[in-house]
Structure 1
Amino acid sequence: MEELTTAVRQQHKFSVDRLQRYLSVKARVSNNDTLTIRQYSAGQSNPTFLIQTPSNSYVLRKKPPGELMPGAHKVDREYRVQKALFSAGFPVPQPLLHCTDVEIIGTEFYLMEHVRGRIFRDIRLPEVSPAERTALYVAAVEALAKLHSLDLASLNLEGYGKGSGYCKRQVSTWTKQYTATAHRDIPAMNELSDWLMKNLPANDNEVTLVHGDFRLDNLIFHPKEARVMALLDWELSTTGQPLADLAYFLMPHYWPTGLPIVSTMGSLKGIEGIPTVDDLISIYCRCRDIPSALPQWNFYLAMSVFKMGGIAQGIYARHLLGNASAPNAAEFSQCVEPLAKVALQLAHSRFVTGPTKDGLFLQTAKGQAVLQQVKDFMRQYVLPAQEDVAEYYSKHARSPQRWHPPEIIEDLKVKAREAGLWNLFLPSISGLSQLDYAYIAEETGHCLFAPEVFNCQAPDTGNMEVLHMFGSEEQKRKWLEPLLRGEIRSCFCMTEPDVASSDATNMECSIRRDEDNYVINGKKWWSSGAGNPQCKVAIVMCRSGPQNVSSRHGQHSMILVPMDTPGVKLDRPLTVFGQDDAIHGGHFEVHFENVRVPASNIILGEGRGFEIAQGRLGPGRLHHCMRAVGVAELALELLCQRATSRRTFGKKLYQHVCEHIAMIKVAAARMACKVVDCAIQVYGGAGVSGDVPLAQLYSYVRTLRIADGPDEVHLSSIAHLELRDQLKKAQAKL
């Protein structure tokens, strides 16, 4: 926080003692507490301060001292709108008090909570990766769409602004502001003002809450996630046309490189990871459920830059008056004319907004071609084989043969490899990006055994990535190459039955050096794929250091253990909701009893286990998520087919309406399901095994949500009954 604040500037100093006495009454700040006050270096209008006590932190925002422009610096409005938004659950700092007594610190002010998080002063985000830049911009535009979707009546803000005609008022307001503060005549600003007034948008009657200064540096993001924690600086907020906010946010995308504006507000052109305007407009419109074709987009852009010119002129005027909030206020005199010229160019440009072929998640040309090949292969060979595969596992339900993959899958693997659809997950071999492969993983999610057909099945993909990234040349030759050829399979042994494995530092399976060997002792479970007869090697996570070493994440190592090594024992297959998942090689409990392997089997070196695990988990999680999307698509497809084709009592399933009992039916079954699910979460892997009865209980209560009619039918009934009651009430009033 130090880099965002400075010592309180001379022109903004006030009596700390009077403030502390006031806060001791109004905000439970003790008179005995040491009050530390620093001023935020950013913020060009209302001076803002960080107030810290030994136990709490607050933010104080006040009017600037001295003569002020009419209608500006209304901190009472900021307080009102933040209070309404906080009550509605929108991300703003909690407002705590509003003080109109100018005797306290010399001006009116309000106090709010201090929200801890990340504030990016440079909207180009040079300190984060391209992927995070994308995520942060997406989160920002989603927050803006959420703001514009709020209902003014429910916020009790119906009289907060003047409503329709917002654009006309904005042009008039900023023309007056500019004229009142101009230090010299700028013809481009005059021409721009005239053009805007003559080209007002036809749809200026739309009214939502608007922020008025929506920029990336007015957002506080979560310390580690791309999630908006708070939207700041509500001085310019009012009600009116929401597209003005969107255009103001996207304005830097249109600035030419080298425009003399504050360095942290530079052009966004050509910066890797910053989403395109069309992408952000598409996301915004989808969130608001409105068409993505935005008429008169050039007007909104030109008005935004005009407004920026007016703000810059006002900042410079406050510098001349000696009450500017920012130390660099003098720089802004250089910005006004260049901004006006840029705005005129935008005004006379033609923009077409709407869906484009480009997008946030655009595949390479090769990725698109391979995806189409996979789709064709799935349709021609994989999906038609599902019935035969299901028959095979049904036939061998009680036989050890079930751990052997059926011949039809082996034949499909040969076909896929001949077609070049092999090892698609590994960029160095396939030539595909992770984004390319994400779409392919989604497609293979439509069939349980499809990933194996393309040699893209878990856990082998993760193990191959580990060996590719961290394995020695000998390890690659001995294990990676046959895995890539599909000649062998592997398993990953990490989770343990006797510890809480969600915290991987708890792992107790031990490894100790004995001359040229390592000796392993311990238990693992949920070792997926271990039951496949072709599973020839395991990657095992072991504790290799004492628990009291300085780094908790330097105590573990990963080592390669051939499955035929003496002391390796497949103890039992575990079930998931009664299923042994033999099609994926099962999930086994594996015991290691004095297992001795060569020291050369250690991967990367002792104490490097967590480093390896992070490299393995990243792509694997993406693959699982995308396959899950494919599973959901399949389930939805089946749902729609059933709902539109199945008839009972003379109607299609989706047409049925049930009785009032639906309400308790939905509530009770969902409550029970949630409770059992929470218990399963606490038990972890054991929760879905046969060792405790939770899996059976979940199966029972989940079935309750289908027995006597599915939840969705009952919810439909409830909605129908509620609508009927509301209609009766409306008719009664008439």
Structure 2
Amino acid sequence: MADMEELTTPVRQHHRFNVDRLKKYLSAKSYVSNNDTLSVRQYSYVLRKKPPGALLPGAHKVDREYCVQKALYSAGFPVPKPLIHCTEVNVIGTEFYLMEHVEGRVFRDLRLPGVSPAERAALYVTAVEVLAKMHSLDLAALKLDSYGKGAHYSRRQVSTWTKQYTASAHRDIQPMNELSNWLMNNFPANEEEVTLVHGDFRVDNLIFHPTEARVLAVLDWELSTTGQPLADLAYFLIPHYWPSGLTILSTMGSLKGIQGIPTVDDLICVYKRCRGITSALPQLKFYLALSFFKMAGIAQGVYARHLLGNASAANAAEFGHCVEPLAVSALQLIQSRPLKAPQEARLFLQTPNGQAVLQQVKDFMRQFVLPAQKEVSDYYVKHAQSPLRWNTPQIIEDLKVKAREAGLWNLFLPAASKLTQLDYAFIAEETGRCLFAPEVFNCQAPDTGNMEVLRMFGTEEQKKKWLEPLLRGEMRSCFCMTEPDVASSDATNMECSLYQEEDNFVINGKKWWSSGAGNPQCKVAIVMCTSTTTSTTIRHGRHSMVLVPLDAAGVKLVRPLTVFGQDDAIHGGHFEIHFKNVRVPVSNIILGEGRGFEIAQARLGAGRLHHCMRAVGLAELALELLCQRAASRRTFGKKLYQHEVVAHWIAECRLMIEQSRLLTLCAAHTLDTLGGRAARKQIAMVKVAAARMACKVLDCAIQVHGGAGVSEDFPLAHMYAYARTLRIADGPDEVHLSTIAGLELKDQMTKAKL
């Protein structure tokens, strides 16, 4: 439940108007005196006006709202008393009307928290009773018989919302097209009944008595008209069918499992009793599908207004992610069988568990991770010159607790998550949209690779000491392979040495680009060394991996390296580390001396795929930012996207993203079904393709943003630094191209022999 303090906010910048002019106007109408102080705050239910900027066709007709409220109030129906309708645009910049404030309870959450189950049931019943009362009103007596077009309501609604959706669509969404087509071909046979239709009848559009289960006012008549009353009933019932986890509004969410909420059948019985209906309502399924379609159209319109910069909703940016799930839910409902989710229509199918976890991750990202980005950014700006920049901000630590409690933890690890590599590929793409998201789920590099190494090759002692704390998120780790004094693209060049002396190994050498080493929780490094005690002459048989605590004597963090001038503190930095006569127990060797390259190949296979899918998610975000900028800026008399060169960039970016995604999913599928050796060429291909693609998409996005694109005002510069680094990390493009060429020649020769 919300009180006045929660319901009002300071007036947002693009909704502000001249308060003195309003006061002068109201004074002339005797609603205030010249001596009164007029205070203005943003609120939905006293002054109603058109929002700023370009509007969709037919939207925000405040004169109609005033007309219907005036008629209903005169008939004793519960609405706020309308006071005055002003058509003089010069007063506040647009047409508006005023109504009396009704004191009562407004529930922003449809689950009605804070009330008993019995009261919850009573509030829902009284809401349906008011809806039935509205549908029983005599339109002629109210002089509203010409308020709308009446008959053929469904055809008009489907046509209207299809046009609204098409006018505001930012991308093609196949389930919306399919749903629109189904509605067009399945109109109810009998639509002769015509009543007043609210168009947006929900619990949060009602003001309840402060202590009684009684509706004092029905609000928000913007979508009202005359037509089929079942459309209102279906719309009111939509939360009972709402897709689990989808919350585009604080008010919207699934009602499943909430004590006291009447069932759909119970609410229909109440409605039929109040209206004296004795027959069944077979057409209701059509109107439920229509309600989902309308809700999806509204969400798309809100998102379109966000792109144009004049949205009323503070969280308008989130609405674009909700259109497709709403359409999918409607199709599931009308087909009477589970409809394949969007990813199932693709060539590579997730497991049911993978689909469920992906949806959980998407919901968690939308609800918790993405809204935290500004606070995280502010932390690093505040501590840019302080050692505190290496710490993990508290908000990320809090999100990690939430994620673990939700079971969204160590998702990269099949043994822990029961996910396939293909399952996790989709999840990695989703987390790629935010630079710190992988850490929230304990899926951040290089810890993921290190945990895989310890799980596959570690001794029981090593697992207990290092792996288990890493899996719990109690410590961090780094990986030390690249060296500053040699060309590390050929890893056999490394000079960091390892030799045994009694019960210890002694390590000497320099490493750099040790990611994450600056974080205070980074307690151990996996260091790749050249074993001086091995006698083999095989180039790839002389290297070993050893666990080195960072607090061991002789370990020195020399300096943090920068990436395009950024220290990348959000990832714990990338440090140069020197090892001088560092002694560790022989038991710290992983798998055994000379097994380093064998371990490295196992470590990098899946890890490279994770990087590539995160790059796909990063590119999706970059393309989204590109489109938003192209839709909101004008040059030479046209929107940016109307210039052919920008339109072609958008198209090329979409092509490249889809190609890289499919290539990555193919590699993941091969890894799952045939193993790492069979997937080697595909992993090498996607490692090159995904990094190149991300760089190109980001370059286009930066170009469209102009100077802002390389500034700190947008995340694009930081994103580009990550993407460009990926073309070097885990092996430069040129090494992978050589691998691809060699494997391709081998495959071709095998074909020729056949």
The TM tier, using the shorter chain, reads 0.3 to 0.5
TM-score by length of 2: 0.44
